Structure 1
């Protein structure tokens, strides 16, 4: 039995979209030259690149939900060019330069597609702020400055009134601004990419695969209402890769949560006093991510949960408690906006590994995967999906060499219940240590 995502319907990004046209269900007994499972950023990129290589092949792109409803449409909308978090700590400068090059490959590709198809997704070369609240955050910022200097990348210090003019709050002591990142409405981007796929790609939504069987000459994917056979299967399934028997006990399912306001009206914008269209990540990794969107919504994101059963691990009571915590965080930064309500609170499940390593390559005869984005899904999903299709088709490039150099096998996890206890304890400890930055 395969455990399905079971995401709720509370994602603000997706609910802000116009009604999306329905795609077909997987029905009957079908065949395809290539099947891509998972229609997030990785799966969308895999399918598009396969179609470019093989314009006469039948390519099926299958998702258990709607495009944009899963993890790809639930993140905070940062498309980050820099090596992220622990990757920035890597001792090999060449490793970090490869990651930088791969992320910029993805940004260039997405920017080109957004322009080509006129995708309305708030795509913006806004850069990114990394902010500190107090002494703990400032120590992390000092370390970040050293890492950026070693990397040779540009950055700016922003403090005092200059920072408050951007953020509309004096809550932060200082920040470092890096110019290479982009901001986006992630669900709109995913849906826009899905609506503009090459014609030889058939999309099947609301079509969960509940059984995967190896057969002579390929694989049989059994759905709830139909099946499909293929000699070549590409998995863009992130954490759910383990549900199909691959990378078992190597991926950790973690959910992080966000809440956002309705768009501020003109009077509230005057009270806010900051700018539109910026994003701030915490210097202390367990702190709070903060965004002001181009359409006047403020987003608060923090709180991590180990979700062994994905969406089924989260109760309505827990979701309300998280929203209440987000409200406190919001009012600490914007007490002048006390009358502005949250309209949506949501979580998204992603995969991390204990050694912070991404998997890329072949898993079995005819089965290939990019799995474990470690929290940077937009850029990493796009570049890894594109290059996995190149790998399957036998193409060569410097980028393909680079991604094979920086990926590997995620570490084995301890058995349950030790794993769950350990992850939950680590999350609680990080939250307590970072309480001054939340």
Structure 2
């Protein structure tokens, strides 16, 4: 039996959208040339590119939930072009240049699709701020600026009144602005991409796969009310790849949590005094991510949890505690908005690896996967899914060579209970170290 996603129903991005059209479920026995499991950024990109390579093939895209309810619709709404966090620390400059090329290719693909299909997802080329509060954050920010210079990428320092005029708060001492990232409404983007798939892609939602087996040269996927047989299976399932029997003991399920406000009214917007539509990530990795959306919502994200049972690891009481922590972070930055409530608090599960390595490639005869985005799923999911379809179709390119060069095998994890003890201790220690940046 495969352990399924168990996401909460509290995601603000999803709740702010109109109800989605009901999609068909897997019902009865099906045969397909290709089956793609997972309809997030990776799975959608896989299916779209396969349809381009094989326009007469029957391609099934299957998700256990509704499109937009999984991790791809729950992130903070950044599409980041630069190597992110630990990837930026890689000692090989060419390695980082390859990641940069891959991320920017993903952004170009998304721009084309959004314009072609007129997808309303608050897409904007606004860049990104990297912010620091205290001395620890300032030191990390100096290091980030040095890495940008080594990478040859433009960035500039913003501080004092210029920074508070953007953020509406003087809480941050300094930020570095980089121009290449985009902001968007993730649930709206994922849903828009799914609603505009090629005609030979059939989509099944709310159709969990319960088991997988091999029958001769074909793979049989068994659901609650039907099955699918295919010679070629492509997994855009990230952390859930291990539930199908591959990459076991190599992926760590981590959930990040965010909260946001309702849209500020006119009086509150005047009190706030900053700009709309910006995003800030912390110079210190465990610090606070902050967003102001186009429609005037402030979002705070700064909590990480190890979730070996995915959503089952999170109780309502834990979610309420997390919202209180987010409330404290919100009021520290915007005390003048004390009357503004946090309306939604949600989590999203993603995969990281101990060696911060993404997996990309073939797992078995007729089985391909891209997994473990290490927290940067929008760009990486799009490009890895696109190129995975190329790999399965036998289509070579310099970009395929790039992604094969920068990916590898995630490191093996120690067994439980040592794994859980280690991960939880590391998260707690990182939070303590970064307390000045929260």
TM-score by length of 1: 1.00
Q: Does 1:93 align with 2:78?
A: no
Q: Show the 5 A alignment for 1:276-425.
A: 276-425=276-425
User: Match of 1:22?
Assistant: 22
Deviations 1:91-139 (A, max 9, x none): 1000000000000000000011000000000000010000000100000
User: Match of 1:431?
Assistant: 431
Look up the SS of the partner of 1:308 in the other structure. Answer: coil
Q: Aligned equivalents of 1:179 and 1:221: distance in 2?
A: 44
Q: Aligned equivalents of 1:91 and 1:170: distance in 2?
A: 35
Q: Aligned equivalents of 1:437 and 1:376: distance in 2?
A: 21
Look up the SS of the partner of 1:436 in the other structure. Answer: helix
Q: Show the 5 A alignment for 1:165-184.
A: 165-184=165-184
Deviation at 1:371?
0.3
Deviations 1:323-348 (A, max 9, x none): 00000000000000001111100000
Q: Does 1:133 align with 2:133?
A: yes
Q: Aligned equivalents of 2:44 and 2:408: distance in 1?
A: 22
Q: Aligned equivalents of 1:321 and 1:314: distance in 2?
A: 11
Deviation at 1:191?
0.1
Gaps of 5+ in 1: none
Deviations 1:358-398 (A, max 9, x none): 00000000000000000000000000000000000000111
User: Match of 1:82?
Assistant: 82
Superposed CA RMSD: 0.4
Q: Aligned equivalents of 2:43 and 2:170: distance in 1?
A: 41
Look up the SS of the partner of 2:437 in the other structure. Answer: coil
Deviation at 1:212?
0.3
Deviation at 1:237?
0.2
Q: Does 1:155 align with 2:142?
A: no
Q: Aligned equivalents of 1:355 and 1:174: distance in 2?
A: 31
TM-score by length of 2: 1.00
Look up the SS of the partner of 1:410 in the other structure. Answer: coil
Q: Does 1:111 align with 2:111?
A: yes
User: Match of 2:45?
Assistant: 45
Deviations 1:243-298 (A, max 9, x none): 00000000000000000000001111000000000000000000000000001000
Deviations 1:184-215 (A, max 9, x none): 00000000000000000000000000100011
Gaps of 5+ in 2: none
Deviations 1:147-188 (A, max 9, x none): 000000000100000000000000000000000000000000
